[in-house]
Every structure is written in C-alpha cells, then in structure tokens.
Amino acid sequence: MTRQDVRKSKRLSQVLRHQPDLIGISLDEGGWTSVPALLEAFARFGEPLSFAELEGIVAASDKQRFAFNADRSLIRANQGHSVTVDLGLAPAVPPDRLYHGTARQFLASIERDGLLKMSRHHVHLHTTIDVALAVGARRGKPVVLTVDAAAMHRQGHAFYVSENDVWLTDTVPPDYITVLADPGAAGGA
C-alpha cells in the first residue's frame, strides 16, 4: 500500500469502527454502511476515495479489517468497534491456545487484572504468534501472551471468531495468561 492508501485505510478504520459521525455516515445494527454514502462522505470532507481505491484498501489490508457484502454495496469493519454494533457472530469453540500481543508497558496491569476489552466490544486474540507480535509492536516493545482458551471455554467463557479470523472474548482473567515472549525482559530489542 502507498502512504496515501495507508492514511485512507486508517481513516476508514476510524469511521467504520469508532466515529462514523466524523464524516457524516451512519452504521446499521450490523456495522454496515452504504458504499456510495461512504465515498460521498469522504469526498465531502476533502478526502476523495474512489470505489477502485476502496476495493484496493480492502484487498490489501494485512489484517483484513474490512468486508464488503456480496454485491459490494455495503462495507463494514470486521471487528474492533467502540460504537455499538452486532456483528452477528455465533459462539465458537476456540483452539486450545490463542495469543495476544501487547506492549511491554502494559504487562504489569495485565498480570494483575487480565485482558480487558477497554473501549472495544471484545478482547482480540490471534491464532499465530507472528500476528500477536506485530500487534504488540504497534505501541512499543512487544510482549506475546499465551491464552489458555480451552480452559476458559470449559469454564463457560464465550468465544467468537470474526470474518478475518480474529478470536474475540469479553475478558481474559489473569489465571489463563502466560507470558510467551517478552523481548524487553532479557534486554532484547
């Protein structure tokens, strides 16, 4: 993606996950908005975005953050909302282990309180260490945590999986978390 595409992708995340009113669009109960209305809103706010550019951003998103409906008339973010939406996800049986990436400065509070959804609808977990590491690196020195999802599921915690294979749950208590990789703890980068 070009630098301009990255900027537009970040703006798309902002309006489809957190602030649709920022550019004057609305999301339906499932998080969907009209593609023509979205493109018009981008243009109205001085950030023209063509349908071809939008398709390119959706296709090139490394984490597949966005999805079109079948006829590409609607678009939404796959997860990560802070606004009220119902993605219509059914409970699912998680893999035995899932991973969460965070920055090292948050480790003490996670060890004390667990993983909390904060302003989002769910805690985000991943099936691979590499994705968790990349997520953790966004805010500082990364730490990868292993979540005992099988034990959580046995204890009645609900899990959901988004269209782009991000596992979601309401909270992860500290008893289910172990530090898998903390490069900063041993003086590493």
CATH number at residue 162: 3.20.170.30
* Average pLDDT over every residue of 109-132: 89
Task: Mark whether 12 and 46 lie in a shared domain.
Answer: yes
pLDDT of residue 101: 93
How far is the C-alpha of 178 from the C-alpha of 23, rounded, in Å?
41
Number of domains comprising the chain: 2
pLDDT of residue 84: 84
Phi-psi region of 163 (alpha: psi -120 to 50; beta: other; left: phi over 0): alpha
- Domain boundary at 77, 108, 134, which? 77
Residue 45 φ then ψ, to 5°: -100, 20
Answer whether residue 88 is part of any domain.
no
Task: Mark whether 69 and 138 lie in a shared domain.
Answer: no
Domain containing 146 equals 97-181
Residue 67 φ then ψ, to 5°: -140, 145
Strand partners, 99: 126, 146
Which pTM was predicted? 0.71
Answer whether residue 189 is part of any domain.
no
Task: Mark whether 150 and 122 lie in a shared domain.
Answer: yes
Angle, CA of 180, 186 and 189, to the nearest 5°: 90
Has residue 34 got a pLDDT over 80? yes
Task: Mark whether 104 and 56 lie in a shared domain.
Answer: no
- pLDDT tens figures, 99-110: 999 999 999 999
- pLDDT tens figures, 65-92: 899 999 999 999 988 788 888 888 899 9
pLDDT of residue 159: 97
Burial of 129 (0-12, 13-18, 19+ CB in 10 A): middle
Answer whether residue 47 is part of any domain.
yes
Going by pLDDT thresholds of 50, 70 and 90, the confidence category of residue 186 is very low
Alpha helices in the chain (DSSP H): 3-13, 35-44, 51-60, 107-113, 129-136, 149-154
Has residue 189 got a pLDDT over 50? no
Task: Mark whether 60 and 103 lie in a shared domain.
Answer: no
CATH number at residue 21: 1.10.10.970
